[in-house]
Chain A
Amino acid sequence: MAEASSSSEFPKKVIYCGVCSLPPEYCEFGGTVKKCEEWLEQHHPDMHAKLYSQEAIEQNMSSLSLEAQKRAEKDAQKKAAKAASAEAKAQEQRATSKILIKRIERNKRKYVTAVQGLEAFGLDIKKVAKDFGKKFATGSSVTKVPGGGEEITVQGDLSDDIFDFLLDNYKDVPEDNVELIEDKKKKAAG
């Protein structure tokens, strides 16, 4: 084995596809072949030429029986469709879901601020809660909401500050999707 590897340096540099994160030679199994191919063409044209040449594709196909080829193709199509629909869904969710920043009155002049809906934007609420706590130097915790799901509760009236902080620090969050709510009612006991 040693002689086979002597020509190459270690550690080996491996290129990973920017779309599906696999090594490019495995892109064809990923379901996002089209996009992967485009990405590779842009970023590593030499590799693209090697992997996506007519010859290479034909060679790949010839090693399988006809029936297996058909099955593989069907499978690939299914996978691609699945990947596409999953992406569309995620995007739609992103567009429609809202982040709610609520000011809740605790005790006449004391408030807490609740932030809901962050997880739809691919944020880890535990981490965000920690960041809030650090930034504003207040207590910040993840609490369960009665209706299911979780929200971040920050001590103090910070709704405007959180609004700005969210937009500055989390680029994935579009401004239109953040909403401020002032809740004057006292929080129900329990």
Chain B
Amino acid sequence: MFKKDISPGAKSKVKSSAQRAIRSKVIEQYPKLEPYIDDILPKKEQLDLVKLPDRVSLYTLGATPLFFQHMDDPLLPHLTLVHKYPDSFQLLRIDRGAIRFVLSGATLMVPGLTSAGGRLPDDDADEEGRYGDEDLEAGEVVVVEAEGKDHACMVGVLKVGTKEMREKKKGIACEAGHYLGDGLWGLG
């Protein structure tokens, strides 16, 4: 989505009612963020809406980007936010070989997740239960970590459910996300 460098468009203040709506939406979508919601979206602070190309809007608090949204799609967290609260999102993991492709903006393919280094929910190799134990449906927002790294490298929306992934082991897993070093990252 943000493969090229982007120049931010008009910045405007978010109405406080809209701000409240965003807040409740965030809690609804990411229930695990709730304990920190006052740190992320303080009630009294003024949010800004930055318009980006291709009808993407980015919500920022001061200079820190928080969430972005394409039209009325679900709110996606900016990676800096993910890095701050990594455990509050649904995580997946890719193997090492896939990192360099993801970081150059390629579509995330299923084999990167199903191979030995990758992790899907309810994975046998996942002893801590870090990646959850319920299969995910297509359309869910996931944060993608990488094998051997502490921080997430991508945020995206699933194209196929994780169950299907495990059966087919090929094809597209996650398209048009926000990855480390892309245009959106450059803004932050």
Contact = CB atoms under 8 A, between A and B. Distances in A.
Contact of B84 (A3, A14, A29): A14
B171 interface: no
B183 interface: no
A72 interface: yes
Interface stretch (A15-23, A107-115, A153-161, A165-173): A15-23
Interface stretch (B15-23, B44-52, B142-150, B161-169): B142-150
Interface in B11-46: 32, 35-36, 39
A166 B151 CA distance: 41
B149 A25 contact: yes
A142 B35 CA distance: 47
B86 interface: yes
Interface of B: 7, 32, 35-36, 39, 80, 83-87, 95-97, 99-100, 103-104, 117, 128-130, 132, 147-151, 153, 180-181, 185-186
Interface in A102-148: 124
17 contacts: A1-B87, A4-B87, A4-B128, A10-B35, A10-B39, A12-B84, A12-B85, A14-B80, A21-B186, A22-B180, A23-B180, A26-B149, A26-B151, A29-B100, A29-B104, A68-B97, A124-B7
A75 B181 contact: no
A2 B181 contact: no
Nearest to B151: A23
B181 A64 contact: no
Contacts, number: 76
Contact of A25 (B80, B130, B151, B185): B151
A11 B87 contact: no
B102 to A, nearest CB: 9
Contacts of A10: 35-36, 39, 84-85
Contact of B153 (A20, A26, A63): A26
Contacts of A23: 83, 149-151, 180
Contact of B83 (A12, A21, A59): A12
B96 A63 contact: yes
A96 interface: no
B185 to A, nearest CB: 7
A25 B150 contact: yes
B103 A29 contact: yes
A2 B87 contact: yes
Contacts of B95: 63
B180 A1 contact: no
A75 B100 contact: yes
Given A1-B132, A60-B148, A75-B100, A12 B153 contact: no
Contacts of B186: 21
